[in-house]
Amino acid sequence: MIEIGLALLVFVLLLGGTGLGVLLRPLLPEEHRKHETVQLVQLVLGMLVTFAALVLSLLTASAKSSYDTATNDMRAYSADLIQLDARLRDYGPDAEAARAALRSYTAAAIASTWPGEPAPQGDSPRVGAAKDGELESVALGGLLNTVGHDIASFAPHDRYQGVLAARLSDVFGRVRDTRWRLIEEAHSTLSRPFFVMLTLWLILIFLSFGLIAPRNALAMVMIALGAVSISSSVYVIVDLDTPFTGQIVIPSDSMRDALTHMNQPVGAQPQ
């Protein structure tokens, strides 16, 4: 769980910065402890806190926007899979092999993308595990490509099937494009150098807290609560930035609805 690890690391670093400030405070010369100096430090500290809060809020908004985009793309992907299955039904018995491969792919994609949830009922093909940071394995992508090969090999018997074959090619192209967009959106977009710099700014802020904060239990508790709040916001940002891993993940409802639609008998669903 990289999200929890990063949040805990930030929490420890912030408390460590505060502790360092507490240790350095007795070493400061007397003129550095004057009221005018403390006021100046508080003024600069307020500016740094405001800047850090603004950056954290922008990161949260950006991560939430990426998560919402991936969620909408997943719903569009599920809808395209339903449309593809419906057109294959319309094509007739010649498309049964492609429909079976599409059902197998959808079931395997659900089991692979949401491993913590119950796998779809029925026989799902066993595909290789995806690499770290990837949404699906090469074998799972090959299963979807099988559907495309079957569609490309259709030999229409009449004008109606010819129109459907052209329509199937268009729908499959849309499915393939959305699939690759989801694969790219599964990767983190958070800049590591920028995240490191933000953490350094926060450490400097908490170091300043340790230098000027009074030595009493209430002050230390408030500083600890501030560290908890910031580390929890880091957890939310990192978790939202990886929409298919962690605790905050895109729900599987749309893909499961698509599989339910595919498993319905021919003639039992609206076209």
**Number of domains observed in the structure of the chain:** 2
Rounded CA separation 52/16 (Å): 18
Q: What is the DSSP letter of 57?
A: H
pLDDT score, position 168? 92
| Residue 101 CA: distances (Å) to CA of 126, 177, 229, 262 | 13, 18, 48, 11
- Do 131 and 258 lie in a common domain? yes
- Do 114 and 161 lie in a common domain? yes
The pLDDT of residue 270 is above 50:
no
- Give the residue-averaged pLDDT of 144-166: 90
Rounded CA separation 28/156 (Å): 86
Buried b (16+ CB within 10 A) or exposed e, 118-156: eebeeebeebeebeeeebbbeebbebbebbbebbeebee
Is 131 part of any domain?
Answer: yes
Domain enclosing residue 124, as ranges: 92-186+250-263
- Do 167 and 254 lie in a common domain? yes
Is 72 part of any domain?
Answer: no
Whether residue 250 contacts residue 74, with contact meaning beta carbons closer than 8 Å, is answered with yes
- Do 158 and 255 lie in a common domain? yes
- Do 150 and 235 lie in a common domain? no
pLDDT tens, position by position, 8-20: 999 999 999 999 9
Which of 109, 84, 108 has the alpha carbon at shortest distance from 174? Answer: 84
- Do 115 and 163 lie in a common domain? yes
Is 81 part of any domain?
Answer: no
Label residue 237 by pLDDT band (50, 70, 90).
Answer: very high
- Do 23 and 58 lie in a common domain? yes
H-type alpha helices, the chain: 2-24, 35-91, 96-113, 138-152, 159-185, 192-212, 217-241, 253-263
48 three-class SS: helix
- Give the residue-averaged pLDDT of 256-269: 80
Is 83 part of any domain?
Answer: no
pLDDT score, position 134? 55
- Do 233 and 223 lie in a common domain? yes
- Do 177 and 210 lie in a common domain? no
Written as one string, the DSSP assignment of 197-242 is: HHHHHHHHHHHHHHHHS-SSHHHHHHHHHHHHHHHHHHHHHHHHHS
By percentage, how much of the chain surpasses pLDDT 90?
46
Mean pLDDT of the chain: 86
Rounded CA separation 45/213 (Å): 12
Is 150 part of any domain?
Answer: yes
pTM: 0.82
Rounded CA separation 178/102 (Å): 15
- Do 215 and 237 lie in a common domain? yes
Rounded CA separation 141/43 (Å): 56
Is 59 part of any domain?
Answer: yes
